[in-house]
Chain A
Amino acid sequence: MGDGDGGVELDTKRLFEALAREQIPHLYALARRLTDQPEDLVQECLLKAYRSFDTLQAPEAGPRWLQTILMNLFRDRLRKQAISLTEIPVDDVDEFSLFRTIAEEDPFPYSDTLHLDFLHAFGKEDVRAVLLRLPEIYRAPLVLRYIQGFSTKEIAKMLDAPMGTILARLHRGRKLFERELWSYAKENELLEPEDSR
């Protein structure tokens, strides 16, 4: 598809533009949950895709191909952070239970649906903000599994990590997510009655 010097011919460029235009919202949605700088990641992905557009065999594989490029770029970022990430101290997050904490702290004393009321206090932007509080190494598997719907096997392949590592990160990511939901709700006064916020 390419002309050999890194550019692409006019028709091919149009094909790329059509694919990119269609996929920008999807790529952005994925990037937005992985990083707090989604536009940079999408831009990097589009540039890399443009330069290697001649490796795309079938146009119908385009969306998945772009998503894979974005995930590979994100994985490279994770690798660069690997040393500092392993230095994150192990705390008592494993012991935290959001279900139990809500029951014990009872933030809505007159509610019959305490746990649901807690979740309903969050808007979409709040959920995103909580996700972004998680270290990327835990956030990525969580987003890929529970928001994007990939299997753990696919995630292991995407992030180039053993299945056991992905399962452990998923477990820890879920626990961190629960703990951060609670902290975020308290810090942002989501647990106050609506008329007093």
Chain B
Amino acid sequence: MTERVIPCSEAVRRLWDYLDQTLSPDDLAQVQDHLSFCRRCCGELEFAKELRSFLASAAIDQIPPEAKARLQRFVDEL
């Protein structure tokens, strides 16, 4: 194996980019190598996945009816 072994701090810094698939091939190989032996960072990775879903779930909601009515009235009056 030729890639540099990275410490936990560096692996954790790159986990979201790893999930986003925005790492360079070299960085990706280093993170994958680190995850192959580090259980704690595997835990961090699972949590990062949960946190992404958690953040995405904030998208599901509705406009308050009074705000919708005001904005529709605004359009009607243009």
Q: Which residues of A contact B (CB under 8 A)?
A: 13, 16-17, 20-21, 24-25, 28-29, 32-33, 38-39, 42-43, 46-47, 50, 94, 97-100, 115-116, 119, 122, 124, 127-128, 131, 142, 145-149, 152, 167, 170-171, 174, 177-178
Task: Assess whether B2 is interfacial by the CB under 8 Å rule.
Answer: no
Q: Is the CB of A46 within 8 A of B75?
A: yes
Q: Which residues of B, 20-72, contact A by the 8 Å Cβ criterion? A: 20, 22, 43-44, 47-48, 50-52, 54-63, 67-68, 70-72
From DSSP, what is the main secondary structure of chain A's interface residues?
A: helix
Q: Which residue of B lies closest to A17 (CB)?
A: B75
From DSSP, what is the main secondary structure of chain B's interface residues?
A: helix
Q: A155 to nearest B CB, angstroms?
A: 12
Q: Which residues of B contact A (CB under 8 A)?
A: 12-13, 16-17, 20, 22, 43-44, 47-48, 50-52, 54-63, 67-68, 70-72, 74-76, 78
Residues of A within 8 A of B74 (CB): 43, 46
Q: Which residue of B lies closest to A43 (CB)?
A: B74
Q: Is the CB of B68 within 8 A of A167?
A: no
CA distance A142 to B55 in the complex (A): 9
* Candidates B48, B61, B70; contact of A39 at CB < 8 Å: B70
Q: Which residue of B lies closest to A142 (CB)?
A: B55
CA distance A17 to B75 in the complex (A): 6
Residues of A within 8 A of B75 (CB): 16-17, 20-21, 24, 46, 50
In the complex, 13 of the A-B residue pairs with CB atoms within 8 angstroms, ordered by the A residue number, are A20-B75, A43-B71, A46-B78, A94-B13, A98-B47, A99-B47, A119-B50, A124-B58, A127-B57, A147-B58, A147-B59, A152-B22, A167-B22
Residues of A within 8 A of B44 (CB): 97, 99-100
Residues of A within 8 A of B71 (CB): 24, 28, 39, 42-43, 46
Residues of B within 8 A of A47 (CB): 78
Known: A25-B62, A99-B47, A174-B16. A147 touches B55 (CB 8 A): yes
Q: Which residue of A lies closest to B16 (CB)?
A: A174
CA distance A29 to B67 in the complex (A): 11
Residues of A within 8 A of B54 (CB): 119, 122, 127
